[in-house]
Amino acid sequence: MGQRFWLGPTLTGVSEAELGRVLGDAFARAVFRLPVGEWSGPIESIRGRHYVQLTARRPPVVRLFEDVPGEVREDFYEAREREMLKRKVADIAKRYRILGHGEGGATR
């Protein structure tokens, strides 16, 4: 009825952390506490509202480092990018004096 989900109508073998990265941690927590087999919703995510049916619950699996080199690399680059952005914002913020509401706004 709504917009098509870009990852498809079914997600299989997704961890709570993986779902949280795509649709937000609050959404993932809510989904992973649903009863199996029942439709629930709407549940709010960072991308809208969703009706969800949890079809199975599997125990977590520990994966070996050798099995996930691409994911580790992606996480590393993502963390490095966040750190660079944080430094850049801090550097820019040093050049400005931030005034409170009603004090004339930000000045350089």
Q: What is the pLDDT of residues 1-44, one digit of tens each?
A: 567 777 777 888 888 888 998 899 999 999 999 999 999 999 99
Coil vs helix vs strand at 34: coil
Coil vs helix vs strand at 41: strand
Give the mean pLDDT of 65-83. 85
Instruction: Domain ranges for the chain, please list them.
Output: 1-61, 64-108
Q: What per-residue confidence (pLDDT) applies to 104?
A: 58
Q: Is the pLDDT of residue 88 over 90?
A: yes
Instruction: Report the alpha-carbon distance of residue 76 to residue 82 in Å, rounded.
Output: 10
